[in-house]
């Protein structure tokens, strides 16, 4: 939905109910989205954050009929697409996902071709008054980045997609934006690392010259094109896992001139004071198909683990005073989860900043973990859950409590 007041478009990630094939995605759109709209936006059009896997992109690209059917469904239900999640290339539900979610990474031709295909689809299905965004992976799973050649390869591939977006707008008049999403355990993890990559690689004279060559642009136009088409998704939950100061991180991106093409409202699980008695209750959250990157803080020192289970094993081997945050998306409307808390406060900090000076024109709630939440946290159905999240964020922006 368009929030007005320059606050941008707000919706929720259809990852929460989307399948991996286009047939599954289409069924989930028809099943859930109109009901959510009826609850939160009955009198105005409602934005959709669409999940398009590589399989779905192939189906849509090959079938003008499918694209026309999608546009008709959107129009008939007063819906519009303003952003696509093209982070997971392959399956994201049902099977074990873990670090496979980053494959193929940005060093591959497959990632380039997939992203370009999604951009072409978006240019056709998004309304004329929206510049849609594509959410994508943070370049690579960090352990796979073995040398500078790897970095150079995925940087060039990013520029190839930017060049495609330049050509796409010239051909269709539609601007599509590409947004990298930093995430724990990836090449782009912290906000400081993200600023460094953009400063040293993307906005460097060498980077601007490479884009100019690939896009056939004069140097005088290439830097503007880079900022016009390439930016980031700022996932508040991801950055909270690393104990970042969220307002400071957002200010650093603004100061560096890095566009925040999507501000993602997500909260992480947080244990202020981990004790041996809490470990069994926390292990309930380890039964998941996704990575649960975890940061442990002990006596001021921070240690990072790939999974919550690994972190708990380390704590049990050395049960000293410990604070822990883990990459498990939890409902943004909850401040407490039984004996645990959440990083909802960071979402509220970011939304306060956005309310005062809008940071992005695309906002999205991304709590995709409904199906893997412990049973005692599931109240109502997916529609109830999504509705509560949207109402919470909208209230924080439009009617904040004193």
Query: Could you give phi then psi for residue 140, rounded to 5 degrees?
Result: -170, 155
What residues are paired with 269 via a beta bridge? 326, 342
DSSP state, residue 2: B
| pTM across the whole model | 0.96
Kindly report the average pLDDT of the chain as a whole number: 93
Q: Give the mean model confidence (pLDDT) for residues 59-79.
A: 97
Residue 61, Cβ density class (10 Å: 0-12 exposed, 13-18 middle, ≥19 buried): middle
pLDDT for the residue 93: 66
Q: Give the mean model confidence (pLDDT) for residues 34-60.
A: 95
How many CB atoms neighbour CB 251 within 10 A? 14
Structure confidence by residue, pLDDT tens digits, 201-258: 999 999 999 999 999 999 999 999 999 999 999 999 999 999 999 999 999 999 999 9
Comparing 328 with 228, which gets the higher pLDDT? 228
DSSP string, 14-78: GGGT--SSHHHHHHHHHHHHHHHHHHH-TTS-EEEEEE--HHHHHHHHH-HHHHHHHHHHHHHTT
What is d(CA 309, CA 108) in angstroms, rounded to the nearest whole number? 31
Structure confidence by residue, pLDDT tens digits, 254-284: 999 999 999 999 999 999 999 999 999 999 8
Comparing 18 with 225, which gets the higher pLDDT? 225
**195 Cβ contact list (under 8 Å, min separation 6):** 252, 253, 256, 258
Structure confidence by residue, pLDDT tens digits, 80-120: 999 999 999 987 766 767 888 999 999 999 999 999 999 99
Confidence of residue 395 (pLDDT cuts 50, 70, 90): very high
With contact defined as beta carbons under 8 Å apart, do 37 and 79 qualify?
yes
What is d(CA 98, CA 116) in angstroms, rounded to the nearest whole number? 25
Sheet holding 260-265, edge to edge: 9-12, 362-365, 260-265, 230-235, 177-180, 133-136, 79-85, 46-51
Structure confidence by residue, pLDDT tens digits, 136-179: 999 999 999 999 999 999 999 999 999 999 999 999 999 999 99
Provide the token pair at 249: 């991180």
What residues are paired with 270 via a beta bridge? 325, 341
């Amino acid at each position: 939905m368009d929030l007005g007041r320059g606050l941008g478009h707000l919706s929720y990630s259809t990852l929460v109910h989307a399948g991996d094939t286009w047939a599954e995605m289409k069924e989930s759109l028809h099943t859930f989205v109109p009901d959510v709209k009826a609850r939160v936006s009955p009198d105005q059009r409602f934005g959709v954050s669409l999940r398009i896997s590589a399989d779905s992109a192939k189906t849509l690209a090959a079938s003008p009929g499918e694209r026309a059917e999608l546009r008709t469904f959107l129009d008939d239900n007063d819906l519009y697409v303003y952003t696509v999640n093209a982070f997971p290339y392959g399956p994201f539900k049902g099977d074990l996902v873990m670090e496979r979610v980053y494959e193929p990474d940005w060093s591959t031709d497959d990632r380039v071709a997939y992203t370009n295909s999604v951009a072409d689809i978006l240019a056709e299905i998004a309304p004329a008054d929206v510049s849609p965004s594509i959410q994508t992976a943070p370049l690579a799973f960090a352990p796979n980045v073995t040398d500078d050649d790897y970095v150079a390869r995925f940087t060039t591939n990013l520029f190839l997609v930017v060049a495609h977006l330049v050509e796409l707008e010239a051909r269709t008049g539609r601007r599509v934006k590409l947004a990298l999403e930093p995430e724990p355990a990836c090449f782009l993890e912290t906000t400081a690392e993200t600023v460094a990559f953009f400063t040293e690689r993307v906005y460097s004279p060498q980077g601007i010259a490479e884009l100019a060559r690939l896009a056939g642009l004069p140097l005088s136009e290439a830097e503007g094109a880079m900022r016009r088409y390439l930016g980031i998704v700022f996932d508040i939950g991801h950055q909270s896992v690393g104990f970042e100061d969220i307002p400071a991180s957002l200010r650093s991106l603004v100061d560096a001139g890095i566009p925040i093409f999507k501000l993602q409202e997500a909260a992480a699980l947080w244990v202020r004071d981990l004790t041996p008695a809490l470990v069994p209750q926390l292990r309930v959250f380890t039964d998941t198909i996704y990575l649960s990157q975890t940061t442990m803080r002990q006596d001021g020192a921070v240690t990072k683990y790939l999974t919550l289970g690994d972190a708990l094993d380390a704590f049990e081997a050395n049960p000293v005073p410990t604070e822990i945050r883990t990459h498990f998306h939890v409902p943004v409307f909850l401040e407490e989860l039984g004996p645990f808390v959440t990083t909802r406060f960071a979402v509220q900090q970011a939304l306060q900043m956005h309310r005062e000076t809008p940071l992005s024109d695309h906002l999205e709630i991304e709590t995709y973990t409904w199906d893997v939440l412990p049973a005692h946290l599931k109240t109502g159905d997916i529609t109830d859950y999504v509705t509560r999240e949207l109402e919470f964020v909208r209230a924080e922006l439009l009617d904040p409590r004193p």
